[in-house]
Amino acid sequence: MLVGGVDEAGRGPVIGPMVLVLAVIDESKLGKLEELEVKDSKELSPERREELYPEIVKLLDDLVVVKILPAEIDAFVEGRGGLNELEALKTAQMVTQAKKRPEILYVDAPDPNPAKYVQRIERYLQDPPRIIAENGADAKYPIVSAASIVAKVERDREVKKIEERYGSFGTGYPHDDRTVHFLENLVQKNGGFPGIVRKSWSTAKRILERGTQRSILDW
C-alpha cells in the first residue's frame, strides 16, 4: 500500500515562496525511512537536512514539489479563501499529479480544526484517498517528516537564490528587525516591492504605506 505525507515550508515569511511537498512511499519501506531518523525539519540543522535529502528521495516511490510564489499567495490571502484554502487546493493538485497516488494521506494540518481541513482538501478531489490530518503530524509520522525535510531544503535553496540577487534579509519573518530593515530599503530604493515580497502581509503593507507617505511629503 502506498502512503503519502504532505507538509510545507515558508508559510509565515513575508519574503519568498511557500514550498509544499507530497512524499509517497510503499508502506513496506517505512521502516527504512525511520532508520534515517527523520523528524520535523525544524528540529534538524540545515546541514543535516541537506544530508538526509538525497537519502529520502532515494527511498520514495514518488515526490511532488510545488513552489507557490508570493503573487499567488497574495491572491488567496486578499480574497480567495486565505492560506489554508490555498494549501488545501495545492495538496489536492499534488495528489492528482502524483504518478503513484497514495491510498492513505497524512497531512500536517495548518488549521486548528484538522477535520475541517480534510474537508477542504476533499472538495478538490473526485476520488480522495483516506486523509488523516493532524496538527504536528510532521513530528509524529515519518512520511510527513520526510515531506517536511524536502520542503525545507527546497525553500532554503530558493532563499539562497534571492539572497544572491538582493542580499541578506534575515529570517524573512515579519518580526525580524533585519527583514523589516531590508523591506524598508527596498521601498526607499525602488518605490515598491519586487516579486519576492508577499505584499498582502500586514508588515509589507505598513512599510509600503510609510514609504509612499514619505515620497508625497518629499515631493
CA pair distance 180, 147, nearest whole angstrom: 30
**DSSP β-bridge partners for residue 106:** 5, 132
Place of cell 514550498: 19
- pLDDT tens for the chain, 219 residues long, are 999 999 999 999 999 999 999 999 999 999 999 999 998 888 899 999 999 999 999 999 999 999 999 999 999 999 878 999 999 999 999 999 999 999 999 999 999 999 999 999 999 999 999 999 999 999 999 999 999 999 999 999 999 999 999 999 999 999 999 999 999 999 999 989 999 999 999 999 999 988 655 544 344
Please give the pLDDT value at position 214.
54
Residue 105: CB atoms within 10 Å:
28
Residues 23/150, Cβ–Cβ less than 8 Å: yes
CA pair distance 77, 80, nearest whole angstrom: 6
Residues 120/85, Cβ–Cβ less than 8 Å: yes
Residues 69/198, Cβ–Cβ less than 8 Å: no
Residues 96/17, Cβ–Cβ less than 8 Å: no
What domains, with CATH codes, occur in the chain? 2-163 (3.30.420.10), 166-218 (1.10.10.460)
Residue 144: closest CA among 11, 22, 56: 22
The pTM for the full model equals: 0.93
CA pair distance 19, 64, nearest whole angstrom: 10
